[in-house]
Amino acid sequence: MSSAIEPELLPLTAEEGPAGLTVGAVPLTELARRFGTPLFVYDEEHLRRRCQEAVAAFGRDNVAYASKAFLCTAMARLAHEEGMLLDVASGGELAVALRAGVPADRIVLHGNNKDEAELRRAISARVRHIVVDSFDEMDRIERLHATGELPPAQIQLRIAPGVAAGAHESIRTGGSDSKFGFGLADGSATTAVRRAAASPAMVLEGVHAHVGSQVLDATELAAGAAAVARFAAQSGVCRLTVGGGLGVVYEAGQSAPTFAEWAVRVRDAARGAGWDGDVAVEPGRSIVARAGLTLYRVGTIKHIHGVRTYVSVDGGMSDNLRPALYASRYEAFLPRSPRSPRPLRARLVGKHCESGDVIIDNAALPADLQVSDVLATPVTGAYGYAMASNYNKLPRPAVVFVRDGHARVVVRRETEDDLLRLDTDAAPVEMSVRSGAGELVAARQSSV
């Protein structure tokens, strides 16, 4: 591809001005100069509009933002302000949501292996419901309830309906061979409903399923909805949640359903399967992906004659793991000249000590690309910062929200002090362990 970057890949408020591309009326090159790179930039107006569209399509009590896509206190607060519930998948995400001021009864807790501490906090806070994923989790809830300290847990049961969808095997979650949920095919879903309904520790309100992620065909989402809706109707529960999974456009030539189209398809499928109630969903990627982009600084351009050109930037797999993890594809452009043709072909790579640290394998770039240029990869608002790491001890980037000519830092850039804050100089600890014969043997921890 040698054409300019497609507008459909950019945040809603993106416009070209004298200083190049602006988002939220702020030039991207100025953001890079002021806040440094790598830098995650989110169009706040875009985020709010997407939340509003989702609520309009499904209803205020039927749509939860899947916070695993991107979460900080500012994002949790924004989603709540726009009428969304919040879907969290760990005790840490729950803590962020509560700190942001989201009422517990607007939070739902997910996770395939919640420990007792996570369950205790969720039940004591009185979250809206817990999505129970296994019989072992039921055991934990019943043990906690038996102490007499906690009320019964409001729950939904996660079902594996035998329908899997998604752009990559690792994000197809609804099949029979899945770590998530109670299977329909083997009868464990039916057993789980009976046990939950009979348990004084749980109040069963509904069933839940999620068939996969980055789904661009609404037919696949409808198929998953039909499978779990049929089971929900037979089980006599009062709530049905069909998860998220709605995909977004990452490359030119792709298309994705709207929230309104998604709502029509899953509702029709659920009604056709015998369900006559509301249908709840949990979009994440489709709320935040296109709203965000990543700014990098070009550090090295290496031409290998007869082989390829490498363009290295100051981030990489530590701020965008998806290409290495899922073979995800992106595009790139120069914010200083967003309409420039992109005839140069190069492998866009990061600065990590890994040959697999590839952001775009065969990137289309402007011919006048130079060292020190600010380069942008769009549609990185989902699972970029959320999966960021400190590999090679790189500090994680800052995150800024832009709107109406203003920028605000919602997550500061990490420093070297942050990288060292968990290291300790603690003295070795003497341990006691049992040998196979049952004798106590002193074992002293030693440093190598």
The catalytic residues are 353
Count Cβ atoms within 10 A of the Cβ of residue 331 and give its class: 0-12 exposed, 13-18 middle, 19 or more buried.
Answer: buried
| Per-residue three-class SS string for the chain | CCCCCCHHHCCCCCEEECCEEEECCEEHHHHHHHHCCCEEEEEHHHHHHHHHHHHHHHCCCCEEEEHHHCCCHHHHHHHHHCCCEEEECCHHHHHHHHHCCCCHHHEEECCCCCCHHHHHHHHHHCCCEEEECCHHHHHHHHHHHHCCCCCCEEEEEEEECCCCCCCCHHHECCCCCCCCCEECCCCHHHHHHHHHHHCCCEEEEEEECCCECCECCHHHHHHHHHHHHHHHHHHCCCEEECCCCECCCCCCCCCCCCHHHHHHHHHHHHHHCCCCCCCEECCCHHHHCCCEEEEEEEEEEEEECCCEEEEEECCCCCCCCHHHHHCCCCCCECCCCCCCCCCEEEEEECCCCCCCCEEEEEEEECCCCCCCCEEEEECCCCCCHHHCCCHHHCCCCEEEEEECCEEEEEECCCCHHHHHCCCCCCCCCEEEEECCCCCEEEEECCCC
User: Which residue(s) pair with 211 in the sheet?
Assistant: none
Q: Between the CA of residue 180 and those of 38, 320, 386, what are the distances in Å?
A: 34, 25, 21
CB 94 within 8 A of CB 316: no
Query: How many CB atoms neighbour CB 280 within 10 A?
Result: 22
Contacts for 81-86 with beta carbons within 8 Å, 24 or more apart?
82/48, 82/51, 82/52, 82/55, 83/51, 83/52, 83/55, 84/51, 84/54, 84/55, 84/60, 85/61, 85/128
CB 115 within 8 A of CB 138: no
